[in-house]
Amino acid sequence: MKQREIAGQNVAEIGLGCMNLSHAYGHPLSEADAAKVIDAALDAGVRHFDSAALYGLGSNEILLGKLLKPHRKNIFLASKCGMTGVDGKRVIDGRPKTLRSTLEQSLQNLQTDVLDLYYLHRWDKSVPIEDSVGELSRLVDEGKIKAIGLSEVSSQTLQKAHAVHPIAAVQTEYSLWTRNPEIAVLEMCRKLGSAFVAFSPLARGYLSGQVTDKNALVDGDIRKGMPRFQPEHLQKNLALLAELKLISEAQQCTMAQVSLAWLLHQGPHIHLIPGTTQISHLRDNVGASDIRLTSTQLAKLRQVFHPKHISGPRYPSATQLEIDTEEF
């Protein structure tokens, strides 16, 4: 794969979001099956692996610690703090003391002495962003993390944080059906020299064309509670896929590959971390690095998936209150 810079390192432009292995989309993979996915990712040239203290309430980091330890010198390893599981419940806590203790546990779980990139998973709005980032900067000074990232923040919050310590990356949902970063933060990342890491670049499977019925989702799948996957919204959104399908046929590739390629065309500072539990999908995703879309195709997709055409908000109202991103 082609490489792009993030946190002072050049890594393949498509990485692996590892949440799916342990969290959020139904039943976690067994360690043996997860090992097959990780091995396939490494074989395909993936070097950027993304986890978080929240995923599987720590089990995702523990899993990756076992599977990636033999490859640690050759990979780019990222995790997140500020949103963890406490007594089985998700808690947002950006206090410096909490961030430090979370990092210490993450290093132990991931079986490493230092993380290449460490994100504040959510800005705890009860704690000034300067205080949270200030503690992360001390962890950089101590050599426990190499770079600081933020997740789901506005351009204004990014600027405040960057004034305390350089922010190496911002991770936010970005895809054809979630274009919010285009309001301001994508450009602010470019101006500040921060990488932009797109999570859910396939819109949680929607852009692959394989998620057509909420009722087909297994118990424990977070999409069951997301507005855009409710029948009244999903049917409207599915109608938008017709043009994506036509372009994929013209390119002789999959709809997922076109969707990922479109994102890569939006700027050289953009990295993608699609998640998957299936090796065939992983290889398909990585193949998007070779897709070149025409200017006409890029413009057509931008028009078809204009935010005004997308039905439903991306998060339930309670979750929406927890994030800081600009919204259409």
Topology, domain 3-320: TIM Barrel (3.20.20)
- Kindly list the catalytic residues: 55
Nearest to 47 by CA among 150, 116, 119: 116
Contacts of 308 (CB under 8 A, 6+ apart): 328
Sequence ranges of the domains in the chain:
3-320
Residue 88, pLDDT score:
87
Residue 26, pLDDT score:
85
Per the structure block, which two tokens stand in for 73? Answer: 């010198």
List average pLDDT for each run of 10 residues in the chain, which is 328 residues long.
97 98 92 98 98 97 98 98 94 98 98 98 98 98 98 98 98 98 98 98 97 92 96 96 98 98 98 97 98 98 98 96 96
CA 110/CA 67 separation, integer angstroms: 9
CA 218/CA 128 separation, integer angstroms: 39
CA 126/CA 45 separation, integer angstroms: 41
Neighbour-count burial for 205-218, b at 16+ CB within 10 Å, e otherwise? bbbbbebeebeebe
CA 91/CA 75 separation, integer angstroms: 29
- For the chain, give the mean pLDDT: 97
Residue 140, pLDDT score:
98
Residue 311, pLDDT score:
98
